[in-house]
Amino acid sequence: MPRAIREIAGVGPQGLTDEILCATGPIVLRGLAAGWPMVRAARSSDDEGDAYLRRFYGDATVGAMLGPPEAEGRFFYNEDMSGFNFYPVHAKLTGVLDEIRAKRDMARPPTVYVGSTSVDACLPGFREHNDLDLGGRDALASIWIGNRTRIAAHYDVPDNLAVVAAGHRRFMLFPPEQLKNLYIGPLDFTPAGQAISLVDMLNPDFDKFPRYAEALEHAQSAVLGPGDALFIPSMWWHHIEALDAFNVLVNYWWQRTPEFMDTPTNALMTAFLTMRGLPAEQRKAWQEVFRHYIFEADDETAQHIPEAARHVLAPLTADGARALRAQILKKLNR
């Protein structure tokens, strides 16, 4: 069984410290948002939680995913991985809420899921009463609404603070170094933008995915209820299971790097274009180049070059990022 995620109790919406929000491992914050009106309404009943959301709805259209009952809430690929086992729709948020409410008492309902939707765009005013103080971080606040769903293990580049506002969710997390043991699917053909583990974590096939047993040795897990929150550090793999017929989660994403920096995912995809097909000895040589200039770079890396002549080896600035991006695009578009 995965070990329990470390917990901290007694932290309120104004008590999130850098020690928590810059942690290198996950942290459960019990009762962090217990005072949110949304949480109090959801604890009272699903109907009251639903009604509270509708108070802030204007006329927003949201993206939703619909899955058949036989998928049992798991958003995934189809049998031959040529497509997916769900289909996307655009609908009014009230229509999605109506659908969830209508299917709430079904033993095996179709799956309804609204993922990663801007809170301010679809529920203006909601954050005036339900929000957290992240110490000045420029965070993107998103809302996730659905019935019983399963989201395959994936990572996010930003740090993530996930707050359960209604229902219960089970999180299972794996550190970044377990990548090879999670059997990741295609990088450029994904259910929702991020590459996912192909392992069904509720019913793992150890004959097909034997190294997943090693990943489980390093897994951490927790079940969160309304008002509880989970800090997920950048690049940690996380599998999320919504356990109730009505679930709402609000999460905050933020980067610790300047806005002018591109996502490292772009470097990875460019490496497929430029390096993966090289002979083994050349790949090993480039591994040393990256170790020297990127992964183990320090103040001595370019110390032998006059400061004014360091160019790309100097600390990156907004102007330097624009110039470098233009140079790279010019070479890629040759």
Residue 26 lies in a domain: yes
- Tell whether 259 is covered by a domain: no
The model's confidence at residue 194, banded by pLDDT at 50, 70 and 90, is very high
**Is 272 domain-assigned?**
yes
Q: Among 254, 272, 291, which residue terminates a domain?
A: 254
Do 150 and 229 lie in one domain? The reply is yes
**CATH number where 104 lies:** 2.60.120.650
In a domain, 31, yes or no: yes
Reading the block at residue 145, the tokens are 């609404």
Same domain, 128 and 84: yes
Tell me, yes or no, whether 150 and 270 share the same domain: no
Are 189 and 297 members of one domain? Answer: no
Residue at which a domain ends, from 209, 231, 254: 254
Map residue 154 onto helix, strand or coil: strand
Show the tokens assigned to 103: 């299917």
- Of the candidates 254, 273, 297, which is a domain's last residue? 254
Q: Are 238 and 217 contained in the same domain?
A: yes
Query: Residues 173, 5: contact at Cβ < 8 Å?
Result: yes
Residues 95, 137, single domain; the answer is yes
Q: Could you tell me if 204 and 323 lie in one domain?
A: no
As a whole-number percent, the residues of the chain with pLDDT over 70 amount to 100
Using DSSP, state whether 61 is helix, strand or coil.
strand
Q: How many domains does the chain have?
A: 2
pLDDT-derived band at 286, boundaries 50, 70, 90: very high
Domain check: are 118 and 24 in the same one?
yes
**How much is the average pLDDT of 185-195?**
94
Domain that holds residue 318: 264-332
Token output for 155: 């990572």
Is the distance from CB of 231 to CB of 23 less than 8 angstroms?
A: yes
Copy the structure tokens of residue 290: 């990256």
Q: Are residues 101 and 232 in the same domain?
A: yes
Share of residues in the chain with pLDDT > 90 (%): 93
Domain-located, residue 79: yes
**Residue 191's pLDDT band (cuts 50, 70, 90):** very high
Q: Are residues 166 and 77 in the same domain?
A: yes
Kindly state whether residue 61 falls inside one of the protein's structural domains: yes
Residue 110: inside a domain? yes
Stretch 203-224: mean pLDDT, rounded?
A: 98
Reply yes or no on whether the pLDDT at 333 is more than 90.
no
pTM score, whole prediction: 0.94
Q: What rounded mean pLDDT belongs to the chain? A: 95
Task: Give a yes or no: residue 313 inside a domain.
Answer: yes
Tens-digit pLDDT profile for residues 157-167: 999 999 999 99
- Residue 277 φ/ψ region, left for φ over 0, alpha for ψ in the -120 to 50 degree band, beta for the rest: alpha
| Residue 152 sits in the same domain as residue 277 | no
Whether residue 315 is found in the same domain as residue 183: no
